[in-house]
Structure 1
Amino acid sequence: MTDILRDEASNESRAVRLGLDGSPEAPVIRLVHPAPPQIAAEAILARAEALTAEDTRVLRIGVEAGPHTAARLLALGAARQIGTGVEILPGLLWQCAARWLPDSRPPFPELVTVTDGRRHPLRPGTLAGTVYTRDIPWLGRRLSFRTMTETGDVALFSAWMNDPRVAEVWQERGTLTEHQAYIARLQADPASLPLLGCLDDAPFGYFELYWARESRVGPLYEAGPYDRGWHVAIGDAAIRGRPYLSAWLPSLMHYLFLDEPRTQRIVGEPRADHAQQIRNLHGSGFATIATIDFPHKRAALVSLSREHFVRDRLWVPGAAVADAAPRPPAVPAA
């Protein structure tokens, strides 16, 4: 098999020949011909992603490549040393931020501050542009999340908020001017992040992310300093059903865990009477931990831990269902 990758240093495309041996539980990726370590490592990681994107059986992925390529995989945090070589573990690979975040940065230094009487870490904010990309093999499409900085983004959001189906849940009907002010307020607040979800660059939904400590839900449970929360509105009615849900929902959780490695829990607050949404969340690994009351709604407080997401490989469609095939251990014996 041959992977075509772009060498960022020379801006040229390079073909990388890889071989695949081993078993479904322990495949081995071989670098057939020498290639620059950065390019070779990228090709190996792309192949490892493909092997683990839809299959929970993979225990480990052996790598047969030169020492510089192996060192690159170790430096990225996608592999561990095993004897004189390296092997990729799915739980390491899928926490390798550089693989999915175009602007992968080191963790922001922790500096505690206070907002409205609540102590929380100072938040770094987010650079404009695409924040996450992932190829979805069962759709044959590329999913991405990006900031709302392009012409027409707020107008699209406004149209969605005035759609009766969305308005029934969101209760944010309004004019374009009102919605411009709404998004501007969120963009000015480092505790929140409004995003558009896209498939092949075409927007399909609105995602509103927040740091739980500073949010309205923060005082209602024991929020950790890096807990994140989210709201969603799927504006494109064509992007419905399990294949799409199993693409955008775990990808959003994946982004939140990658964006801040200290985030250990993600929470949500769907309406308590929104049975379908709660079923979807339970089927994706979330658990309801409380029922909470806001002035405008009674909500189910749902939670997903990083450990559960990584251990049970919840990026794989159907991995969270009760009768899913047993998973191998997250860290197999060396």
Structure 2
Amino acid sequence: MRRHPDLRRSLRLRHGQTFAWRPAAPVDAAMIWTWWTRPDLTYWGTAPRLGRIGPPPYDAGTVRQYLELPPERLGVTPLVGALDGTPVAYAETYAKGDSPLASVPVIEDSARGSHLLVDPVARVDRRIVFEIVVDGVDWSFETWPEADHYIGDPDVRNRSMLHLHSMLGMRQVAVVELPHKTASLVAISRADWSARREQLAAVIRR
């Protein structure tokens, strides 16, 4: 099992706002439950996550139990992101070898990935989301030097996330049948990210 550190990160955005990541805590359960159960939310997979706790019905208390699981059972590090102090995002960072993708041989098990959910009600500007995601890839490569790739596993029907990964320079390396979705395994190597990073910085500066 890979290490699950106490991850924290603060980013000064281009237009002056501050975005900060911190570990998600059980006290965040009601807020996260509200985000996970938005009627307009698609492809997030609330039930497969909370299925680790037990059968439905699920509620905010189940999310609290989920966040209280030890890292060796959870397999991800849950994070909450705040824009100028207001929570607007939830993420889970993970090692491929600790995830359902562990059996896919085309990428090393130490590769890092993440799942991101931005509060639909917050209406965070897409340019800000892009800045946050670019910094998130930087953060992953800085924090886990053993990772040669950054990966994603969006549902093949999730066009917005597929487009976002494409903008990052990530390429599909496999289509994977997971218990709750057909996933497009996308990846970018550390070397390719270094080459791509200046182009992305120019996009952010526009």
Question: Max radius of gyration: which structure?
Answer: 1
Contact residue 172 and residue 184 of structure 2 kept, 8 A: yes
The whole-number CA distance in structure 2 between the counterparts of 1:218 and 1:124 is 16
Residue number in structure 2 paired with 1:243: 127
The corresponding residue for 2:33 is 158
Q: How does 1:150-299 map to 2 (within 5 A)?
A: 152-166=27-41, 168-172=42-46, 174-185=58-69, 187=71, 189=73, 191-299=75-183
1:146 aligns with 2:31: no
CA change 1:285–1:193 in 2 (3 A) is: same
DSSP 3-state at the match of 1:290: strand
Q: Distance in 2 between matches of 1:257 and 1:190?
A: 22
Residue segments in structure 1 that go unaligned for 5+ positions in a row:
1-121, 320-334
CA deviation after TM superposition for structure 1 residue 242, in Å: 3.1
Q: 2:5 aligns with which of 116, 123, 126?
A: 126
Q: CA deviation at 1:241?
A: 4.2
Q: Is 1:318 matched up with 2:197?
A: no
CA distance in 1, matches of 2:45, 2:129: 22
Distance change >3 Å, CA 222–CA 182, structure 1 → 2: same
Q: In 1, distance between residues paired with 2:70 and 2:203? A: 33
- Residues of 2 paired with 1:310 and 1:186: CA distance? 34
Q: Could you say which structure has the greater relative contact order, defined with CA pairs below 8 angstroms and 6 or more residues apart?
A: 2
Distance of aligned partners of 1:295 and 1:264 in 2 relative to their CA distance in 1, 3 Å threshold:
same
| C-alpha contact 2:154 2:185 (8 A) present in aligned 1 | yes
2:149·2:187 contact (CA, 8 Å) conserved in 1? yes
Q: Displacement of 1:268 after TM fit?
A: 0.8
For 1:284 and 1:318, the matched residues in 2 are separated by 11
Any stretches of 5+ residues in structure 2 without a counterpart?
48-57
Residue aligning to 1:94: none
Instruction: For residue 283 of structure 1, report the CA deviation from its aligned partner.
Output: 1.1
Q: Structure 1 residues 238 and 317, CA, compared in 2 at 3 Å: closer, same or farther?
A: farther
Q: CA offsets per residue over residues 172-217 of structure 1, 9 Å max, x none?
A: 1630111111222264648420001121222111101111012101
Please give the TM-score of this superposition, normalised by the length of structure 1.
0.53
CA distance in 1, matches of 2:102, 2:125: 31
* Higher helix residue share: 2
Contact 2:155–2:181 under 8 Å retained in 1: yes
Counterpart of 1:156 in structure 2: which amino acid?
Answer: M
Q: Please tell me the residue identity of whatever aligns with 1:155.
A: A
Aligned partner letter, 1:163: R
